[in-house]
Amino acid sequence: MSFVPSKSSAAPIVASVIDTFIAPPCLAQIEILFEDEAILVINKPSGLLSLSGKNPLNLDSVHYRLVQDFADARLLHRLDFGTSGIILVARNKHINGLLTQQFQHRSVTKTYQALLMGKLSADSGVIDAPIAKDAALFPRLKICELEGKTALTEYQMLSYCEQTDLSRVQFTPITGRTHQLRLHSQHIGHPILGCDLYGGIVEGSKKPVRMMLHAQTLAFTHPLTDERMQIHCPCPF
């Protein structure tokens, strides 16, 4: 039986995409790397959501935990569920607005470390590959020259292990698109180890305990003192 909408229907029927992901419990704790009256800089553990999900089973998150002690805490940016490392947090609305301007002007700089599958053909370079959404791919994104938004990533290979066939790489994202480092790694043929969305799991092999991506440095100007700050969080893998 087919459904034919009545002529009185005012709005088109749009198929919604349902996220069925349920995060397993995360026992690891958030580490506070820096704290004052204006900001927090924290180390997010892998396996913890940045923000609580719509599903009530995904309540636990960085934000949910922080507001228990810092009632007006506001995340300036997010890290993917499997990514560990530095997140900058404003402690009130005013500070959030000041720091948001720094992100918009790209005066906040970040570096990440990752383990990529295989050996890179070049020791360094820039990945220029626009990123677009596609409902059919949800929750994945795609590289698309026509529809994508500009996405730029600088990379530097730090080392290569022949025994494991893994490259340790430092990433410096110039833009901050969702899944940028994960998708750009796949784009150059070297997915991040443990990345289940973009080819980081070898079929038939044991899945790594986590995604091997870590936000290791964050540099910004303190919103009250104008001091240029650089926070470092050592890579745990």
Helix (H) or strand (E) holding 139: none
Q: Is 80 a catalytic residue?
A: yes
Q: How many residues does the chain have?
A: 237
How many alpha carbons lie under 13 Å from residue 2 in its C-beta half-sphere? 2
Helix (H) or strand (E) holding 170: strand 166-173
Helix (H) or strand (E) holding 95: helix 93-104
Is the alpha carbon torsion for 104, 107, 112, 116 positive or negative? positive
- Residue from 123, 126, 36, 114 nearest 79 by CA: 114
Which candidate in 80, 123, 165, 196 is catalytic?
A: 80
For 111, the token pair is 């570096």
| Whole-angstrom distance, CA of residue 140 vs CA of residue 220 | 30
Active site residues: 80
